[in-house]
Amino acid sequence: MKKDTGHSLPAPELPHCRTAEKRVKRRIYRLSTDVLTSFIIFTESGISMLVKDLLARHKTTFSFEFFPPREDAGADRLIATIANLMPLAPSYVSVTYGAGGTTRHRTHDLVVRIKKETDIPVVSHLTCVGSSKQEMHGILEKYREAGICNILALRGDPPKGMTDFVQPEDGFDHAADLVAYIKKHFPEMCVGVAGFPEGHPATPNRLQEIDYLKAKVDAGADFIVTQLFFDNRDFYDYCERCELAGIQVPNIAGIMPVTTRNGLIRTAELAGGAHIPARLLKAVSRAENDEYVEKVGIHWATEQIRDLLDHDVRGVQFFTLNCSTATQEIYKSLGVSNSRQLRN
Ligand SMILES: Cc1cc2nc3c(=O)[nH]c(=O)nc-3n(C[C@H](O)[C@H](O)[C@H](O)COP(=O)(O)OP(=O)(O)OC[C@H]3O[C@@H](n4cnc5c(N)ncnc54)[C@H](O)[C@@H]3O)c2cc1C
């Protein structure tokens, strides 16, 4: 997909890469696909930018989360969707790991493909479920070889049909153990962890929960991405509690625009305990059909992001659900054509 057209254009701003700064040469590539003609930048080093460096460089980062499709045709469609979103100039993209570790290979393949075909910095989610330490080590080695050095370290959701997490034999019990392992054996890697503004269902004691989050940061986590939330007051309160606990790494706010009625119901199930404000529910129930539900969701998410920006949020992660429309419409509603206009 990469094609050098030889166009002489002003070089766009290149994110900071401490490890390879001197070796980085700016190149601008015109990418021509059915869906996109856009400029992308890549480094000759083959090493991904670290999210912590992007966070240090920019006031706010903007990232897009995708999940690996089940079949190969879906992967091609997703690459087209990602290409579609590139003009929005995300800081990086992120790829999830299926519940129970089910998409391990697909996650790996998609992350490596994104890196090869776009060179946008990419974060791979990695969960402890169902894998021994040795297996996890092997997966991390493969990422190292492929030059992937941003990992979101998670305990993970149990596989379908199971309700509780079971520690694998010779595996990790909590995400904090995985963070410590990565930092010990793969110290060059940048590691993110999950945060839960409305609390995690397995830990009703909210004081204790922040202590567990602090343990992940003390183990070496460089940044936190939060579970989705629909009421920013939950996020601000959580950030204050993080501050009180001495958590100093950036919190990236997880935002998911509601696009269908069923999607909202699924969200309530998946993000167990998510607080769905009555105002949002009323607006969704008034909508004539899903086309209008999407407009309601886009409006709601736009207002959330506008308010987060006014409160100097460090990062916004869009849970795209592998679609480009809602994210593109949110940027338009924010009055900008790409993230560069928002992040400095
Ligand atoms: C941004 C984001 C991305 C996600 N991506 C994925 C994904 O790609 N794949 C996937 O399967 N899931 C994903 N999840 C879901 C996540 O894996 C689940 O919510 C999981 O149940 C918790 O993961 P964790 O990493 O926070 O686990 P942990 O930090 O291990 O916490 C799990 C539970 O144990 C508690 N706990 C932590 N430490 C201790 C301790 N020492 N003693 C007792 N209790 C403790 C915590 O309070 C929490 O209730 C994601 C979640 C978020 C917010």
Q: What is the pLDDT of residues 73-97, one digit of tens each?
A: 898 899 999 999 999 999 999 999 9
CB 225 less than 6 A from any atom of ligand 1: yes
CB 254 less than 6 A from any atom of ligand 1: yes
Can you tell me which atom of ligand 1 is nearest the CA of 194?
A: 53
246: which DSSP letter? Answer: T
CB 127 less than 6 A from any atom of ligand 1: yes
CATH 3.20.20.220 fits 46-343, yes or no: yes
- pLDDT above 60: residue 167: yes
Can you tell me which atom of ligand 1 is nearest the CA of 213?
A: 29
According to the model, what pLDDT value does residue 47 have?
55
Annotated catalytic residue: which of 21, 44, 65, 188?
65
Structure tokens at 110: 């998609």
Nearest CA residue ID for atom 29, ligand 1: 175
Report residue 228: phi and psi, to 5°.
Answer: -60, 150
Of the candidate ranges 6-15, 80-89, 186-195, 248-257, the one whose mean pLDDT is the lowest: 6-15
65 is catalytic: yes
According to the model, what pLDDT value does residue 273 have?
75
For residue 227, the CA-to-ligand 1 centroid distance in Å is 10
According to the model, what pLDDT value does residue 31 have?
36
CB 314 less than 6 A from any atom of ligand 1: no
Of residues 71 and 272, the one with the higher pLDDT is 71
For residue 270, the CA-to-ligand 1 centroid distance in Å is 13
Of residues 269 and 13, the one with the higher pLDDT is 269
Burial readout 201-216 (b: 16 or more C-beta within 10 A, e: otherwise): eeeeeeeebbebbbbb
According to the model, what pLDDT value does residue 27 have?
33
pTM as predicted:
0.88
Q: What residues have CB less than 8 Å from 320, skipping those under 6 apart?
A: 64, 65, 66, 81, 85, 326, 327
Asked if 327 and 321 count as a contact pair (C-beta separation under 8 A), the reply is: no
Asked if 90 and 252 count as a contact pair (C-beta separation under 8 A), the reply is: no
According to the model, what pLDDT value does residue 41 have?
35
Q: Which of 155, 165, 247 to mutate to test the pocket of ligand 1 (most atoms within 8 A of CB)?
A: 155
Average pLDDT, the chain: 86
CB 227 less than 6 A from any atom of ligand 1: yes
Cα–Cα distance, 231 to 116 (Å, whole number): 37
CB 198 less than 6 A from any atom of ligand 1: no
* Helices 278-286 and 290-310: angle between axes, nearest 10 degrees: 150
